[in-house]
Amino acid sequence: MTLDVDAVVTGHPADLAPSPGAAGESPSGCRVVWHDCDRIEYKRLAWLERALHKDLGRMFRRFLAGAFTLRINGSIVEAFDPTMRSTTLHGHTARLAFEPLHYEIATASGSTSHVTVTFTTLPVAQWHNLDNTTKRRRGIVGGGGVSILRAGREIANGWHLMGGKRKENYDDWWRCELEFHPALDEHFGITVNKQGIRPSATLREALEPELESVARILNARVRQAFEEVKFEAAVQGSCRIAGAADADLPVIRSHGRAHGALSYRLGANQLTGDSMFDLTLRQRLLDVTMNTDHPGYTALYRPLQEMGDAAAPVRTALDLLLLSFARSIAAAGAHEEDYRTLLLEWGTTYGRMLEKS
């Protein structure tokens, strides 16, 4: 059947009498052809095709990953998963933040149906240095939010069901996928065009508190990951300085090779206990890990990181202070239990003093 909008506007009645369809490869289906479209925002066909590939590849990704094939002007549409678990860059991909969450919701018919929510996190350490063009093209920048699937097809993509949590740049580095069965259409406010959602109060009360809490946790994880990346980049120069100075210092023994100057590594991570840092000496490498949960890390390093390049000399001096302290502990030749006790006592004392300051 044919609907001519221009004819309707001029007063002609719409003629919606069906006519025989053209034979196709499938025994059944629906073919829609639009002519003279005047509401397309793209001025060039290539731009429109690129946008359609991106949007349709995301919306129908579950089907495109199977036997379903979709073409635009003869070009096959590739599936795109915004959770990025199927995207590999530099040998790394997004991973599940934790096992999917399941919610049982009462339907309008009196039975129940499930909502499944999956969270993934992107590899900050491996992808943060990608150029902005690559990040945009591969969906890293601007791709954050919640993808909502109804019976396997995406019907909404954006910042949904996150309660009072507002979207920030850090939220691009984790993703959320929510899937439900059509039995819950009423709760999701699905209309006849199957586009967009208008969640009911019941659905929001069931999902938003926990999803908002998870969103804040993942946001904090991403922030921490970026801090660790900045930390490791800043300390590389200090480790080179320490390594150059080691040739003039007394040789200390280590597991493995016992001779030669030491090399140094200084990192940051969450450690259990009250120690400000931990250390290992293996194969002439002194590996020092700062405890990001210790008050000393917050009091010393975070202000320096916020100051940027202006704080570089002070930052280097602080790095060398800690590396030299760690070397002195290793040079003492104490057993591992003994020096860990010393680090714990010192870290506990320093932490309590900072809390009182």
More confident: 253 or 42:
42
The tokens of 197 are what? 């959602």
Output the pLDDT for position 24: 61
Q: Which residues make beta-bridge pairs with 287? A: 265, 280
**Summary mean pLDDT of the chain:** 89
Output the pLDDT for position 172: 95
Please list the residue range(s) of the chain that carry CATH number 3.30.230. 95-220
How far is Cα 224 from Cα 202, in angstroms, rounded to an integer?
A: 34
Strand bridging mode 174-180 / 145-150: parallel
How far is Cα 278 from Cα 246, in angstroms, rounded to an integer?
A: 20
Q: 188, 12, 17: which is closest to 103 by C-alpha?
A: 188
Q: Exposed/middle/buried for 144, CB within 10 Å: 0-12, 13-18, 19+?
A: buried
Q: What is the pLDDT of residues 199-223, one digit of tens each?
A: 999 999 999 999 999 999 999 999 8
Phi–psi pair at 320, nearest 5 degrees = -70, -35
Output the pLDDT for position 282: 84
Phi–psi pair at 319, nearest 5 degrees = -55, -45
Output the pLDDT for position 258: 59
Q: What is the pLDDT of residues 313-355, one digit of tens each?
A: 999 999 999 999 999 988 887 676 778 888 899 999 999 999 9
Output the pLDDT for position 339: 81
Q: What is the pLDDT of residues 89-144, one digit of tens each?
A: 989 999 999 999 999 999 988 899 999 999 999 999 899 989 999 999 888 988 88
pLDDT at 30 over 80: no
Give residue 34's pLDDT band: very low, low, confident or very high (50, 70, 90).
Answer: confident
Q: What is the pLDDT of residues 287-312, one digit of tens each?
A: 999 898 899 998 998 888 778 778 88
Q: Which residues contact 239 (CB under 8 A, 6 or more apart)?
A: 263, 264, 265, 266, 319, 323
Flag the least confident range among 25-34, 57-66, 237-246. Answer: 25-34
Fold for domain 95-220?
Ribosomal Protein S5; domain 2 (3.30.230)
Q: Which residues make beta-bridge pairs with 336? A: none
Output the pLDDT for position 334: 63
* Residue 329 · residue 279 · CB < 8 Å: yes
Output the pLDDT for position 299: 92
